[in-house]
Structure 1
Amino acid sequence: MTLTNPSDVLSALIRCPSVTPEEGGALETLERFLSELGFTVERPVFSEDGTPDIENLYARLGNDGPHLMFAGHTDVVPTGNLEGWSHDPFGAEVADGMLYGRGAVDMKGGIACFLAALARLTGDKGALPGSISFLITGDEEGPAINGTVKLLEHAAKKGESWDAALVGEPTNPNQLGDMIKIGRRGSLSAKLTVSGTQGHVAYPHLADNPLRVANALAAALLDPPLDAGNERFPASNLELTSIDTGNPATNVIPGSVDVTFNIRFNDGWSAETLSAEIENRLRQAADALPDRATRGPARYDISFQQRPSPSFLTRDDALIGTLSGAVKSVTGRMPELSTTGGTSDARFIKDYCPVVEFGLVGKTMHMTDECVALSDLETLTQIYERFIVDWFQAQEGRV
């Protein structure tokens, strides 16, 4: 076992069954490794009513100079049906050049590679010309309430500040060097409840079918499109995710229907302006409904999630250029700069410092037989090593 070998580090982390919200020994293992490299490590636990307590880790090496943060999570999604796995999901088994296990790419692999890169640098060159910190949560795959957002607040209150951050999420769709994430779309979920009057399907004049109203309101949400996108972001997109009456009978007109939906939105919107647009569309569609003279105005209610995720775009050309250059120097490929995909904890970090994301290939994340190529672990470690060196050199040039 050597900390300069990313597969050794990753194997140790995979063997920790850290399914959200369980720590599973993953943070304890990471603390031991970071302590060996000279980091000062803290393990705060955060709580909130109605959510599980979450263990987190904050570690720092160095006391002054430019400060680079590496952020990520050791919690993983459940394994699903174990019979579908050809390898023990927590066994860290190697077969045909692939390392198998839950979290191999999302995202214990990224953590292992960054740690191995640091072990090589500190072993070869001694002290870094500045400070590096690890900000690691056990709540990214869960509700994300007692994790990164509170860990950032906790560290900032103690006087910590950062010049830049790298999140090690699996950003590459097909091969290492494909893509760097320089921002993320926002996410807003909502539930539309339409009320009607239950009745017999043979006597529709005595009932008020809420599905008729719900169909019209849902159509108004979908058309026209919210926007056409822009240079850095694709068009905002609304997807209906459920239409539910809770009615198993075929001869009963339901009394109400719930329509749930999610919007992934670009930086042309905020959660507030988007909510206002949704409410306006519903109001106009309800007012335009035909044949409501005898039944009265449509009755509906819209409720939005309490913690929507904002969209953001990192505009630090030096940070983006340094990471892009490191990727190209190792892989020979210039990565695409993208804002696609789901949300990540970068949405919290961007309030404290510029942040970019780059990690492993994400093809098998959350899947049965999640795995990573041993060669990719070595390549990503070399990219991270190059990036760390180049980033600190760029900071010296700014002084």
Structure 2
Amino acid sequence: MMLDAADLTARLIRCPSVTPEEGGALVLLEEVLSGAGFECHRVDRNGTSNLFARWGAKGARTFGFNGHTDVVPPGDPASWTHPPFSGHLDDDGVIWGRGATDMKSGVAAFVTAAVDFVTQTPPDGAVILTITGDEEGPSRDGTIAILDWMEANGERMDACIVGEPSNPEVMGEMMKIGRRGSATYHIAAKGVQGHAAYPHRAKNPLHALTRYLADLTAEPLDQGTEHFDPTGLQITSIDCGNPASNVIPESATAVVNIRFNDLHTGASLAAMLTERAALVTSETGVTLTVSAQISGEAFMTRPGAFVDLVRGVVQQETNRQPALSTSGGTSDARFVKDHCPVVEFGLVGAHMHQVNERVPAQQVRQLKTIYQRILERYFE
């Protein structure tokens, strides 16, 4: 009997797996997958729960899926039409709950697709599912931990789909073939404290810092590339912690977030910011220092056989040719890309992270069909 992706989505939603809690979601999936002949391993690290599952022989030609069962907090339950962990299916065929879009539905779709595929038409090859409980959190012990475990144990995927929501409005309009890089830079300015009435006896760090930030935002960093939008730089915080209006503070800080294309790396941007900071330091006497926190580098899976296969199936099942995009924030594809070619295709992401997150059950079933057709085409 074929598995219903919508039913599994609702069951997963009923598992309260707010990062870093496992909530029973991976236990449920391991039960479903092991019952279908998948070899399952829990790859837990530093309190983070992860699941690796493989059907077929190790070392055979292998197709993989990646996703996460952890979810963001639901907020005030009273603001929800239906309880956030109810997995309620309403009369219009819509499933409600935290994770309905991002991304318990995607996980349910590729799990049920994989199970039905290997039981109905066992391939000459292997299918690997990597499912983490740490995508919405720090992401240090999630997909990275699974990939580390796979390398240590001789496991390998030849290609992988990350099942994150990829469509802005309707199914089939977009797939992700890469992502911009993401980095956060902390700028510290150290001056000399003094009385606001005697500025010549002080060095105002805010004047130097705001000058520096104005220079960073005066012109775009680039105009974009063939597959990437222009790099975006946003100032997200300026602070000096000064409660007194008549005191020039000694220090101030700012935070800058940059989403960058393939013209840059996190390190090259850090070098540019540091060079500009040194110039302001030399001209003002206020010391500016830069520290970097790089979440991921820009990457892209070049159009070719793998991208064409996924795109072709999506077009066949939705009557839309998906745009090949690198837009959006970060995802665990930034880790998978170091292991094998990776693309992202999933549901419409309109309601992710919102109160009253929900998804049409038929859309989840359609996604399952797309994933199963991709497996069939891959192993033809």
Could you tell me the TM-score, scaled by structure 2's length?
Answer: 0.96
Alignment partner of 1:302 is 2:290? yes
Percent identity over paired residues: 45
- Structure 1 position 93 matched with structure 2 position 88: yes
The code of the aligned residue for 1:13 comes to L
Per-residue Cα deviation, 1:281-335 (whole angstroms, up to 9, x for no partner): 2223444x4xx4xxxx221221111x43111110251111011111111110000
What is the aligned-residue RMSD (CA, Å)? 1.5
Q: Is 1:133 aligned to 2:128, yes or no?
A: yes
- Amino acid aligned to 1:309: G
Match of 1:111 in 2: 107
Aligned counterpart for 1:239 among listed residues 234, 249, 255: 234
Match of 2:357 in 1: 370
Tell me, in whole angstroms, the C-alpha distance in 1 between the residues paired with 2:45 and 2:181: 25
- Contact preservation (8 Å) 1:43, 1:57: yes
AA partner of residue 214 (structure 2): A
Is the contact made by 1:89 and 1:369 (CA closer than 8 Å) also made in structure 2?
Answer: yes
SS in 1 for 2:295: coil
Q: Is the 8 A contact 1:220 1:282 kept in 2?
A: no
Q: CA deviation at 1:378?
A: 1.5
What SS does structure 1 have at the residue aligned with 2:82?
coil
- For 1:31, the aligned partner's letter is E
1:190 CA drift (Å):
1.1
Paired with 1:154 and 1:124, the residues of 2 have a C-alpha distance of 30
Contact 1:167 1:355 in 2 (8 A): yes
Q: Structure 2 stretches of 5 or more lacking a match?
A: none
Residue-by-residue CA offset, 1:37-61 (whole Å, 9 max, x unaligned): 11000002112xxxxx211100000
Match of 2:342 in 1: 355
SS at match of 1:54: coil
* Residue of structure 1 in register with 2:193 after alignment: 198
Gaps of 5+ in 1: 48-52, 394-399
Task: Determine if contact 1:122/1:128 at 8 Å carries over to the other structure.
Answer: yes
**Kept in 2: contact 1:3–1:115 (CA 8 A):** no
Q: Which amino acid aligns with 1:43?
A: R
**Conservation of the 8 A alpha-carbon contact between 2:20 and 2:134:** yes
Which residue identity lines up with residue 25 of structure 1 in the other structure? Answer: G
Paired position in structure 2 for 1:338: 325
CA distance in 1, matches of 2:279, 2:196: 28
Q: Does the aligned pair in 2 maintain the 1:85–1:369 contact within 8 Å?
A: yes
Distance 1:348 1:389 in 2: 26
Is 1:41 the equivalent of 2:40? yes
Q: 2:23 — aligned with what?
A: 24
From 226, 248, 256, the counterpart of 2:251: 256
Equivalence map 1:8-19=2 (5 Å): 8-19=7-18
Per-residue CA deviations over 1:52-88 (Å, capped at 9, x if unaligned) read x211100000005320010011111111122211111
Q: Matched residue pairs, number?
A: 378
User: Does structure 1 retain, via aligned residues, the 8 Å contact 2:39–2:54?
Assistant: yes
Letter in 2 for 1:39: F
2:48 is aligned, of 54, 75, 86, to 54
Map 1:135-154; keep pairs closer than 5 Å. 135-154=130-149
- Kindly state the Cα deviation for residue 149 of structure 1 after the two structures are TM-superposed: 0.9
Measured at CA, do residues 159 and 133 of structure 1 come closer, stay the same or move farther in structure 2, by a change above 3 Å? same
2:210 paired residue number:
215
1:66 corresponding residue in structure 2: 61
| CA deviation profile, 1:9-35 (whole Å, cap 9, x unmatched) | 111111100111111101000100111
What's the offset of the Cα at 1:123? 4.1
TM-score computed with the length of structure 1 as normaliser: 0.91
Deviation at 1:3, TM superposition (A): 5.8
Residue-by-residue CA offset, 1:61-118 (whole Å, 9 max, x unaligned): 0005320010011111111122211111111011222101111111111011112222
Tell me what 1:396 maps to.
none
Q: CA deviation at 1:162?
A: 1.4
Against the structure 1 CA distance between its residues 362 and 380, is the aligned structure 2 distance closer, same or farther, given a 3 Å change threshold?
A: same
Deviation of 1:256 (Å): 1.3
Query: Does structure 1 retain, via aligned residues, the 8 Å contact 2:174–2:325?
Result: yes
Q: Which amino acid aligns with 2:24?
A: G
Matches of 2:172 and 2:24 in 1, distance apart?
Answer: 31
Give the CA deviation at 1:121: 2.5
In structure 2, the residue matched to 1:124 is 120
Q: Which aligned runs of 4 or more in structure 1 are off by greater than 4 angstroms?
A: none
Query: Aligned match of 1:271 in 266, 271, 275?
Result: 266
Distance 1:81 1:198 in 2: 44
